[in-house]
Structure 1
Amino acid sequence: MRRVFPVFTRKLSHVCSLKPFKETKWLMPNGNPIGAYVYNCVADQKVPVILSDPHIATWYSCGPTVYDSAHLGHASCYVKIDIIQRILKEFFRIKLVTAMGVTDIDDKIIQKAKETKSDFRTVAKQYEHEFWLDMASLNVEKPLIVARVSDHIPAIENFIKKMIDSEVAYVTNDGSVYFDTEKYDSYGKLQKMQDSGEPADTYKKNKMDFALWKGQKPGEPSWTTTWGDGRPGWHIECSAMVSKFFGSQVDFHAGGIDLQFPHHENEEAQSCAFHNTKQWANYWIHIGHLHVKGDNKMSKSLKNTITIPQLLSQHSADTFRMACLMSNYRYPMEYSDELMKTAESVLNKFKFFLKDTYNYVNNNAIENGDYKYQILDSLQKVEEVNLDVLKSDFDTASCVNNLLNLVIKTNRVMKLETKEFYPIPVLLIAEYITSVLMKLGLKLQDVSESIEHNSLIDTLVEFRHIVRQNALGRKDKELLNACDIVRDKMKATKVQINDSEKTPSWVFK
């Protein structure tokens, strides 16, 4: 027996008058709780994650419409989705079967093809290829299944035909097919109130009805079906492809917050109608927008976009991912120079700490090492608390903050002016922090740099340190200024030096 979480929605009639409130519910799945809770827009609260198989989950993400280059708004969405997927896989040991839909036939793609006097397939392939390169540069893992709409027309046709046959969809005089929202009693459950549907159409029965199939227009690509020529509507493609791969139910369905209505609302409606079920997607994951200059969403229409190569010319992929980790995935993230400087500073604190732990363990101490159980207790507490915060709607910001506090405590121990030497707890803490950050998708180093290059930088940094210490002792301002110039020039080449009275360290920015 499924438990239910009630929410209340309004339904619009064909004249847009509001009917009385009616109750719809999020249905708790039968199966195995994994101990995590995630926000669900239908229940409007955090709900337990329950899987039919305790070790396997299905995940579908709405992918790009490939008519132009991706920008940072897309990047923040897919990086945050990637982070959540990594948490499920790395921290909760879930075998995640991931799929992403790629819209390669659409009004905007057709328009771009006309403008460039090329085939729509050429446009789509060009920008899809660019999209995957951008995602790889951000260390976003590619889904196991990439579903392009044009490859799944037969499955889409079959999906629509079944709904026509069951009379929840109807064919219009222009060869289009619409979903009849009056026939689906739970329409509106993902968003409590809607006051607008798709653009008005003389063929539609109700304002909120939406297109499953668009009748052929002169000069546009089309496919032949039993009811007429045309092409798929936007919403149907995801439902048909997900059903083809995952059957009558999907565990997680993700996308930007702007897709909650109408796209996800319409997906849920048509999928429930097709499968004759009350709940199709068990967990909706909606990613907040990336904003610029206050409340402005980053979008091509506002002409305020930054491309991913432009970002990476100024900041590393790790820095951008850290900015995403420090924010809540459900809420807007405001992109600014201040945000990126803060993210870079936090990232460097971890990098310097890991360098300092190496230097600490490999110093010239002659004392025997000790365990320092108090430090190990701190490590254990952070491990437990971090697992708890990640279980609570993937709270990565608290996780990062807990790691920073552990760094502060460990730094105090390493800088004690005593003869005590604690290599084992320090190494265990460094290993734990490295493990967590890498599980969240950070690389923590520039893998393109060779060992010989690193050794050369070590030598230069050590030489500068000796010169600087002598200059400090003699209060030689001219020599200290020269050391600062060397530091700044190194920073310009992506090497950040951290001066210390004992042993200096450095990291790649």
Structure 2
Amino acid sequence: MDSIKVHNSLRPGPPVPFTPIEKGKVSWYACGPTVYDHSHLGHARNYVSTDIIRRILLHYFGFDVKFVMNFTDIDDKIILRARRQRLLEVEKAKQYTEVELAELGTTAFRAYAKNNLPKLLEGDDSPLGLDEYIRRRDTAYGQVLAGGTLTGEGKPGDDEAKLKMHISNMNYAVDAIRNNQLFSGAEEILLPYFDSLYKESLDTSDQTIFTSLTQLMENEFTKDMDALNVLRPDVVTRVTEYVPQIASFVERVVDKGFAYEAEGSVYFDIAAFEKAGNIYARLRPESRNDKVLQEEGEGSLGKSLGGKRGPSDFALWKKSKPGEPYWPSAWGNGRPGWHMYVICDPSLLRYGNGSRMDLHSGGIDLAFPHHDNELAQSEAYFCEHGHEHTWVNNFLHMGHLSISGSKMSKSLKNFQTIKDALATTYTARSMRIVFLHGRWNDGVEITPSMRTQADTWETTVNNFFTNVKSLLVEANDTTAAITNGAKGLTITENEPVEGLLADLEQAKKDVDAALSNSFDTPQVIRVIADIIRKANIRIGTPNNISELPALESIARWVTKIVGILGLDANATPPYEGLGWASAITSADIDPTTAVKPYQAVYNSVLADAKALDLPTSETLSNLLSQSPESEFGSLVEAGVRDPEQLGLPYLRATSKLRDELRRIVPSSSPETKKAILSLSDRIRDFDLTNIGVYLDDRPDGQPSLIKFIPAAELIAARDDKAAKDAEKAKAKEEARLAREKAEAEKWEKAKVAPQEMFKNDERYSEWDVEGMPTKLKDGSEVSKGQLKKLKKEWDRQNKVHGEYLTKFGGS
């Protein structure tokens, strides 16, 4: 653990040593979401990557991690969204005539254009109407709509994405106004308009206006994280639950001379902070004078607040204006500034009342001004004059997810929600694998090739687990193979490490080095793929029983690593199983019920086999009279509760009977042969497929391998094969019909005697005795050149006509 290094934003460059304040323990504060809307894939990128690192620290390196996350449940975005939704509800309840609605829509439409798309109004003093909107839009912003940039240089980014969002809102509004569907189609232009008119009319002492939204969205976020197998925080804080503590925090910063009150708001005094020997903007010093980022940090509702001493000073406490929630304070009614939301209760962290922490994490877009301001205000709070105070030892910034060159963002409306992504595009595992393929601190744009790479990796791991489990079952001929390893094939301590075992030891070293090197999961993914590739070579080797101990060891190690990375939602530490864990726990299992699907298949196959007119043999007789019940009973007595293990006695009996039936096909009568092959295919493709079992038929008389694969996957593959087979059959039939048609047309043409072939051609008026044209329609002679070409045609027809007469007769 002493060799762990991390990318620390406080020390740009290569990874630096990670040394916790207290040995074996890690205190970690993570910026949670601003809960005003559904979470999207950009949030998934942040919180899944955070979860991966947390799991590695917990379950690989063995740290005791105290993980605190804050939910921002009051800020400018929340205030605006909640307030506007309430105002919209009020307006919807009013009785508007169609004329009034149209006028309202047009007025809101023009106001939205003025505030967000000013070029629509340039050079034309006439009011913007619906009819000329498209023309003005294409003139003013056609370059951006065609994929260009506002400046005409570089690649499109956030500014172009925001502009396209505004244009999209206007487009929808045009249709909504014209179709008298204003409230259902033009909300995005109505919301800011109503807010500009009526925001001061709301009684914001009723804070349910805001908390009803945030509580709903927090619950949705938690559901999304659960669905993504993200561990829940040890402690959750919410801003609104700690406002008195935040106010006290601000008072102390003021008392220490690092903040000042102005017009009812309190601002952090950057000049005083630096004069005392502290450093501001430690994370992003190059951004400290970026006015755009500073304004975004203060929020859209903070623009009208005044009294700042320095242009970069930021609000610790904001005076609440009409239409905003408020709490009492020494400076009057107000609310916390955005950067005050960190560690609502400092005592929640482990060290010195929150004065120090090992890790602080969040998205890279928060580095400045949010995290830089958090650092400044907290270091001001804890520091003593003349002594610097280190509040955060390591800052981890997750790279953001981008789409078409812009970060995925709610404000840009270029996002896909987590819920929608899981319903249509990803599984929790496949999404996590995509993120594991990139470094946590790098930006990522998901491409089709990246998805293919991740899907291929997942398939490789799935198949490896399936094959190893199948080989173990076959080798031991008992379900104990899966839980205890292949019987009699365990590795002794004194056995020399070579071959696959040596490869495994090297893989372990490589993964340890990768995880110690700032949690380098792309390298871990590569190491796993490489060791599986080497193992698969041995799996494909005939008589590979001597390799089973090594194969099993590799499979169990891979199981452990993918468990630590959070890829198995059903597994629990220390991840010592083999393959993906079952969603069903032992306590949920009734053995008799669990085994019924396997038992039913075996009984059906047995009855159908007995009904066949089979050749007599001792082997076949034994298989037809075998009883898996005793082995099943032994498993139940031994405490086995895994459905697959309980079903193995019946599956083995089914597989052995099917293998023997296939073996005797050559010695069976034609009718019996046909029946056996039909039954064999049905067992594999339907009976077993439908219960999630695949029989892998092998050459050279080897027994079929029993593989447990999710039924949905097998059925999908079967249906896909059936569809492809049907498509091939259709194409084959169409080709046959086309050939028959061409053949018919050929002989129909050949049916005409060469003496008659030119007689119906209107280009000619006279012919000789052989039917060759001699004069054209106008009475002129056919030229020698033309006659030469016509004679070639005549000779060809004479030949095929002869073939026709030979084939069909006639004269």
Q: TM-score range with shorter-chain normalisation?
A: 0.7 to 0.9
In structure 2, what is the equivalent of residue 41 of structure 1?
Answer: 9
* SS, match of residue 333 in structure 2: strand
| 8 A Cα contact 2:36 2:214, kept in partner | yes
Q: Which of 411, 423, 433 lines up with 2:558 in the alignment?
A: 433
In structure 1, what is the equivalent of residue 445 of structure 2?
Answer: 334
Q: Which of 225, 231, 249 lines up with 1:135 in the alignment?
A: 225
Q: Which of 335, 339, 342 lines up with 1:231 in the alignment?
A: 335
Q: Which of 366, 372, 386 lines up with 1:259 in the alignment?
A: 366
Q: Which of 385, 394, 401 lines up with 1:290 in the alignment?
A: 401
1: CA distance between counterparts of 2:58 and 2:411?
A: 36
Structure 1 residues 242, 305: CA separation in 2 closer, same or farther (over 3 Å shift)?
Answer: farther
2: CA distance between counterparts of 1:498 and 1:262?
A: 59
In structure 1, what is the equivalent of residue 412 of structure 2?
Answer: 302
Q: Which of 447, 450, 458 lines up with 2:583 in the alignment?
A: 447
Q: For residues 301-320 of structure 1, what are the structure 2 equivalents within 5 Å?
A: 301-314=411-424, 315-320=426-431
In structure 2, what is the equivalent of residue 192 of structure 1?
Answer: 285
Structure 1 residues 59, 66: CA separation in 2 closer, same or farther (over 3 Å shift)?
Answer: same
**Further displaced range: 363-372 or 99-108:** 363-372
Q: Which of 152, 175, 178 lines up with 2:267 in the alignment?
A: 178
Q: Which of 709, 712, 724 lines up with 1:507 in the alignment?
A: 709
Q: Which of 522, 527, 541 lines up with 1:416 in the alignment?
A: 541
Q: Which stretches of structure 1, 4 residues or longer, exceed 4 Å deviation after superposition?
A: 364-372, 448-463, 493-500
In structure 1, what is the equivalent of residue 75 of structure 2?
Answer: 106
Q: For residues 483-494 of structure 1, what are the structure 2 equivalents within 5 Å?
A: none
Identity score, percent: 31
| 8 A Cα contact 1:352 1:505, kept in partner | no
Deviations 1:64-110 (A, max 9, x none): 11111101100111000000000111111100000001011112212
| 8 A Cα contact 1:169 1:178, kept in partner | yes
> Post-superposition shift, 1:497?
7.1
Q: Number of residue pairs matched?
A: 468
Q: For residues 341-360 of structure 1, what are the structure 2 equivalents within 5 Å?
A: 341-360=452-471
| 8 A Cα contact 2:27 2:359, kept in partner | yes
| 8 A Cα contact 2:349 2:357, kept in partner | no
2: CA distance between counterparts of 1:446 and 1:359?
A: 16
> Post-superposition shift, 1:53?
1.4
* SS, match of residue 363 in structure 1: helix
| 8 A Cα contact 2:693 2:706, kept in partner | no
In structure 2, what is the equivalent of residue 11 of structure 1?
Answer: none
* SS, match of residue 537 in structure 2: helix
* SS, match of residue 40 in structure 1: coil
Q: Does 1:80 align with 2:169?
A: no
Structure 1 residues 385, 419: CA separation in 2 closer, same or farther (over 3 Å shift)?
Answer: closer
1: CA distance between counterparts of 2:423 and 2:556?
A: 30
Q: Does 1:52 align with 2:36?
A: no
1: CA distance between counterparts of 2:331 and 2:368?
A: 28
| 8 A Cα contact 1:370 1:423, kept in partner | no
2: CA distance between counterparts of 1:243 and 1:500?
A: 63
In structure 1, what residue type is equivalent to 2:389? K
Deviations 1:451-490 (A, max 9, x none): 5598579979979x98xx99xx9xx9xx99xx8xx989x9
Structure 1 residues 83, 364: CA separation in 2 closer, same or farther (over 3 Å shift)?
Answer: closer
Structure label with greater radius of gyration? 2
> Post-superposition shift, 1:446?
6.2
In structure 1, what is the equivalent of residue 249 of structure 2?
Answer: 159
Deviations 1:128-182 (A, max 9, x none): 0111011000000011000000111121011100011111001011x11100111
Q: Which of 496, 511, 515 lines up with 1:386 in the alignment?
A: 511
| 8 A Cα contact 2:319 2:335, kept in partner | yes
**Further displaced range: 180-189 or 388-397:** 180-189
Unaligned 5+ segments in structure 2 are 87-207, 296-302, 478-486, 492-496, 569-579, 602-643, 667-673, 699-703, 714-811
**Further displaced range: 227-236 or 106-115:** 106-115
| 8 A Cα contact 1:290 1:333, kept in partner | yes
> Post-superposition shift, 1:345?
2.1
Q: Which of 64, 67, 70 lines up with 1:95 in the alignment?
A: 64
In structure 2, what is the equivalent of residue 19 of structure 1?
Answer: none
* SS, match of residue 316 in structure 2: strand
2: CA distance between counterparts of 1:317 and 1:306?
A: 15
In structure 2, what is the equivalent of residue 10 of structure 1?
Answer: none
* SS, match of residue 253 in structure 1: strand
| 8 A Cα contact 1:497 1:507, kept in partner | yes
In structure 2, what residue type is equivalent to 1:232? P
Report the structure, 1 or 2, having the larger strand content. 1
In structure 1, what is the equivalent of residue 166 of structure 2?
Answer: none
In structure 2, what is the equivalent of residue 124 of structure 1?
Answer: 214
2: CA distance between counterparts of 1:336 and 1:69?
A: 23
* SS, match of residue 159 in structure 1: helix
Cα RMSD (Å):
3.5
In structure 1, what is the equivalent of residue 721 of structure 2?
Answer: none
2: CA distance between counterparts of 1:181 and 1:210?
A: 8
Structure 1 residues 453, 415: CA separation in 2 closer, same or farther (over 3 Å shift)?
Answer: farther
When normalised by structure 1's length, the TM-score is: 0.83
Unaligned 5+ segments in structure 1 are 1-32
Q: Which of 270, 275, 281 lines up with 2:377 in the alignment?
A: 270
In structure 2, what is the equivalent of residue 280 of structure 1?
Answer: 391
* SS, match of residue 546 in structure 2: coil
Structure 1 residues 216, 429: CA separation in 2 closer, same or farther (over 3 Å shift)?
Answer: same
Highest relative contact order (Cα 8 Å, sep 6+), 1 or 2? Answer: 1
Q: For residues 460-471 of structure 1, what are the structure 2 equivalents within 5 Å?
A: none
> Post-superposition shift, 1:272?
0.8
| 8 A Cα contact 2:474 2:705, kept in partner | no
Structure 1 residues 191, 497: CA separation in 2 closer, same or farther (over 3 Å shift)?
Answer: farther
2: CA distance between counterparts of 1:313 and 1:39?
A: 34
Structure 1 residues 336, 267: CA separation in 2 closer, same or farther (over 3 Å shift)?
Answer: same
Structure 1 residues 439, 396: CA separation in 2 closer, same or farther (over 3 Å shift)?
Answer: same
Structure 1 residues 82, 487: CA separation in 2 closer, same or farther (over 3 Å shift)?
Answer: farther
1: CA distance between counterparts of 2:281 and 2:545?
A: 65
2: CA distance between counterparts of 1:66 and 1:500?
A: 54
Deviations 1:426-473 (A, max 9, x none): 21111110011001111145626995598579979979x98xx99xx9
Structure 1 residues 421, 59: CA separation in 2 closer, same or farther (over 3 Å shift)?
Answer: same
2: CA distance between counterparts of 1:425 and 1:445?
A: 21
